[in-house]
Amino acid sequence: MPRVSGFGIAPSTPPFKGGGYTWIVAPEQAFGELAVAYSKAIHRGVLAIAQMRAPEIENWMKENAPWTDRTGNARQGLYTEVQDVVQQMVLIILSHGVDYGLFLEVSNGGRYAIVNPAIGHWGPIIWTDVKRMLS
């Protein structure tokens, strides 16, 4: 029986007739498999976006950190990391590479914070990327 498409459909013969075509695989199974494939494709796309944007975010943090450098260690220690969590979730981690990074983020009313401002700046950009990918 020749396949008409990659969706498990062939010209109408038993066992699942309907609309001039016969499902080689039951529709419930085919739709489930397609949903899984679609979900995996979305995950791959989001991972690609994260991997593309992470270096840009890191550079932005280093360029826009609001403190005055004394040693340059805090600025150079800023980094991003992309994690693929059990192939179901993508994380972009923004962090400091110095032990006093938390102090910079929370002391003085957040005056020297860079992680939260980076999230505020880049979150909408990444969301726009994801919406564009899905359209």
- Residue at 11 is within a domain: no
- Residue at 5 is within a domain: no
- Residue at 9 is within a domain: no
Dump pLDDT digits (tens) for 18-73: 566 676 777 777 888 888 899 999 999 999 999 999 999 999 999 999 999 999 99
DSSP conformation class of 111: T
- Residue at 82 is within a domain: yes
Domain that holds residue 90: 38-134
Q: 3 versus 122: which is more confidently predicted?
A: 122
- Residue at 84 is within a domain: yes
DSSP codes joined into one string, 43-101: HHHHHHHHHHHHHHHHHHHHHH--SPPSSSHHHHH-EEEEEEETTTEEEEEEE-SSTTH
Model confidence, pTM: 0.78
Q: From residue 58, how far is each of 7, 33, 87, 121 by CA, in Å?
A: 42, 38, 23, 12
How many distinct structural domains can be found in the chain? 1
User: Degrees (nearest 5) of the Cα angle 134, 115, 128?
Assistant: 15
- Residue at 23 is within a domain: no
Give the mean model confidence (pLDDT) for residues 103-123. Answer: 96
